[in-house]
Structure 1
């Protein structure tokens, strides 16, 4: 197990891609901090699967039904919550080695109809939260003179235009540049940072799409591999980047999209 003895925090891990990442890191031997904001049932499911995979657990903002868990309030759009999440994760396990910035939201609207509230909601979670979670983690690593891994879950839309989701695309573009900049700034301390950019991934949030052949079939035609991705397709890349095998990789984006980015045509 490549991550034995490591501790990983996965933000937004109550379902979908985040849940898949938490489970995969546990399978690789890591202890996992599970974070959620508004889905305690999903977080409980993640926790159960993490324990079944052999990983120790710590459930953020909620409950954990064994003495290895701890409760932390953590809305990734709130700076105090972000810092509290990092500090309490470290306090509980005594260390933190891997930060996976997975939590994210999107808002659909024509550009001219985007409200300030929707803009701020997207940017606060997708970029501000990532920025300051990473900052708090880096401060800890520098203080302890430790190396570490930062892995951001970005999107193909850090490169690919996505009409009616301009704030979302802007947040992912900002994440791309932050990753490149920090790779240079943090490399001398043995801290790596990379993005994983999923394409169309089959998760519960896509249920409406999955049940609508008129929308699903055109999308599949845009994917050279002919299928939607699965959470574990993304999680496998995260596990690799978190491991020593990826020790010489930093400042890069790894696209996990079945070829969608190079074949996409807006319908």
Structure 2
């Protein structure tokens, strides 16, 4: 019960990495605020997750609001405090990656990606940090960045800068918020089999190639991120801040 009675907000928590992290945090004793897009599919997925969390004796609520909306963070914090009285952990996980070539990148695609992955995240982190400062009990903020913060991608020129931005944001926030005992860290997933890359990995040859590039010989699963997120959320990492944790099966180091 590493997170017993803590309140954890996770954005993009109705599916993929966010869902796996939310369930593991609940298993570790936390109450969960499930942030999702607000679309009907997100709401349905959130309700099924709430039922699963209740089955293990924990509590959860869902808050539907677009991660690109700069007011979403304030809403998530407000609803968390209303339901559970406090905010102890904030996990910024929501993100999109509509693959597209650089030279004909539509402005709408670029702006949607940046607003969802970085601009909305900035103000959501700010809202969570202000609540944690007010509580005077410290807290943990975790950004789900990506290996893409460290390497380029031909069809990800709009995406990789946002993930690099999240990593940099956690480093700077670690400096800015340390005086309040608020720790800020990033996890950097490699290729994780989720909805965000389902179409890209539909080609069996590409799937085999991407798997072979990892030291462990397989792609990641959402559950592979849940443990590292719980670690950074818990007091086991109480002296860890400004850190970046690669969770990529050895993809980054396997250059030979």
TM-score exceeds 0.5: yes
Question: In 1, distance between residues paired with 2:112 and 2:77?
Answer: 21
> Per the alignment, do residues 199 and 143 of structure 1 end up closer, same or farther by CA in structure 2, a change over 3 Å counting?
same
Name the counterpart of 2:144: 153
Question: In 2, distance between residues paired with 1:35 and 1:52?
Answer: 20
Structure 1 residues 111-157: Cα deviation after superposition (integer angstroms, max 9, x where no partner):
11112211111111111111101111111122222200001101000
Name the counterpart of 1:27: 27
| Residue 256 (str. 1) matches residue 247 (str. 2) | yes
Q: 2:161 aligns with which of 155, 170, 175?
A: 170
How far did residue 54 of structure 1 move? 2.7
Q: TM-score, normalised by structure 2?
A: 0.94
Name the counterpart of 1:54: 57
Q: What's the C-alpha RMSD, in Å, of the aligned pairs?
A: 1.5
* Equivalent pair of 1:148/1:191 in contact (CA under 8 Å): yes
Gap regions ≥5 residues in structure 2: none
Question: In 2, distance between residues paired with 1:264 and 1:102?
Answer: 27
Name the counterpart of 1:10: 10
Q: How does 1:95-114 map to 2 (within 5 A)?
A: 95-114=86-105
Question: In 1, distance between residues paired with 2:198 and 2:98?
Answer: 17
Question: In 2, distance between residues paired with 1:205 and 1:178?
Answer: 23
Question: In 2, distance between residues paired with 1:191 and 1:148?
Answer: 5
Name the counterpart of 2:177: 186
The DSSP-based 3-state class of the residue aligned with 2:240 is coil
How many residue pairs end up in the alignment?
253
Moved over 4 A (4+): none
Q: 1:40 aligns with which of 37, 43, 49?
A: 43
* Equivalent pair of 1:151/1:196 in contact (CA under 8 Å): yes
* Equivalent pair of 1:202/1:228 in contact (CA under 8 Å): yes
How far did residue 245 of structure 1 move? 0.5
Q: How does 1:213-252 map to 2 (within 5 A)?
A: 213-252=204-243
How far did residue 209 of structure 1 move? 5.0
Q: How does 1:66-105 map to 2 (within 5 A)?
A: 74-105=65-96
Question: In 2, distance between residues paired with 1:78 and 1:187?
Answer: 27
How far did residue 49 of structure 1 move? 2.0
* Equivalent pair of 2:142/2:187 in contact (CA under 8 Å): yes
How far did residue 206 of structure 1 move? 4.0
Question: In 1, distance between residues paired with 2:96 and 2:18?
Answer: 13
